[in-house]
A = this chain, B = another copy of it.
């Protein structure tokens, strides 16, 4: 669902139109009237309410299937309303329940406004951490787990060791254990959800030129490369710390399946520079597949007909392909 006052409802309708013929069915967990409104605005058939996930497949070819959740307050496009926050949260919980029960193959989340959910008592930093909480106790999950944030776009997959922390805290938070854990989650996901038999991971250095043998910082020597050695000793194919500025060039991209970056901008700059609209976010290390568009709620442009659904469409396609891959390996 995402925040109903943002661009979520309109890009969901756009995504249905785009994917309708592609045999990649999805259904919306959200307000039925809002979905009907946006379908009508886009000249689409009226959505169809469904009660069970398995009804979605047959409906999808001719209309957007909606598992309805009713919003208490009227949605004013562009103006988020705390009164609707509990239903936004409920939609996330319902999606997590359905994927954990295996009734849906993956979940895709439209953008939420954290501040609005906080006002309603939401006690998690964001979607990803909330899903990590919901995933606890899932009984079918033994792999190393996270959650770990991975961005994809422009032919790159980039997972992050640290995410939403101030840059001044990045160096202090960096340790060998966390790098090892994140790389293991990434390696597992590349095998399990992307079907890569022996994934190749490239590891970013922290300092300019990856420290140049200690001349410009020594975290590569004392923290990062020891983690890489420990990972290789466990059979994971990962490089030592590489100069991050050269690692995302076209010729280098064919030498790895994913990059492990150490902090937010190091990983997001190359993905967004190459593919701003089509980039997506994937949560690795959960007992289910979850992707999301890599943009915010877009309150400022909501309802104006200019929102682009590229990222949501890419997120749905990726979720579909990952779920097919995971299912084929389980069976």
Contact = CB atoms under 8 A, between A and B. Distances in A.
Contact of A244 (B165, B245, B265): B265
A167 interface: yes
A271 B248 CA distance: 10
A219 B276 CA distance: 26
Given A244-B265, A265-B266, A266-B265, A166 B211 contact: yes
A218 B171 CA distance: 17
A68 interface: no
A127 interface: no
Contact of A163 (B164, B208, B219, B272): B208
A104 to B, nearest CB: 30
A294 to B, nearest CB: 10
Interface in A181-214: 206-209, 211
Interface of A: 163-168, 170-171, 206-209, 211, 216-219, 244-246, 248-251, 263-266, 268-274, 276
Main secondary structure, interface of A, reads helix
A216 B248 contact: no
Contacts of A206: 166-167
A71 to B, nearest CB: 27
Given A167-B170, A167-B171, A273 B276 contact: no
A250 B275 CA distance: 9
11 contacts: A166-B216, A166-B219, A167-B207, A167-B217, A168-B219, A208-B265, A245-B268, A248-B272, A248-B273, A270-B270, A274-B274
Nearest to A213: B115
Contacts of A211: 166
Given A266-B265, A276-B251, A207 B246 contact: no
Contacts of A274: 273-274
A245 B250 CA distance: 19
Contact of A164 (B216, B270, B271): B216
Nearest to A214: B166
Nearest to A204: B265
A279 to B, nearest CB: 10
A174 to B, nearest CB: 10
A251 B208 CA distance: 28
Contacts of A273: 248-249, 269-270, 273-274
A245 B269 contact: yes
A269 B250 contact: no
Contacts of A208: 163-167, 263-265
B276 A166 contact: no
Contacts of A217: 166-168
Sort A-B residue pairs by CB-CB distance and give the 9 closest, nearest first: A166-B217, A249-B276, A245-B268, A208-B264, A248-B273, A168-B171, A270-B273, A245-B272, A244-B265
Nearest to A252: B276
Contact of A265 (B171, B245, B271, B276): B245
A209 B272 CA distance: 13
A246 B272 contact: yes
Nearest to A162: B208
Choose among A163, A207, A264 the residue with the greatest number of B CB atoms under 10 Å from its CB: A207
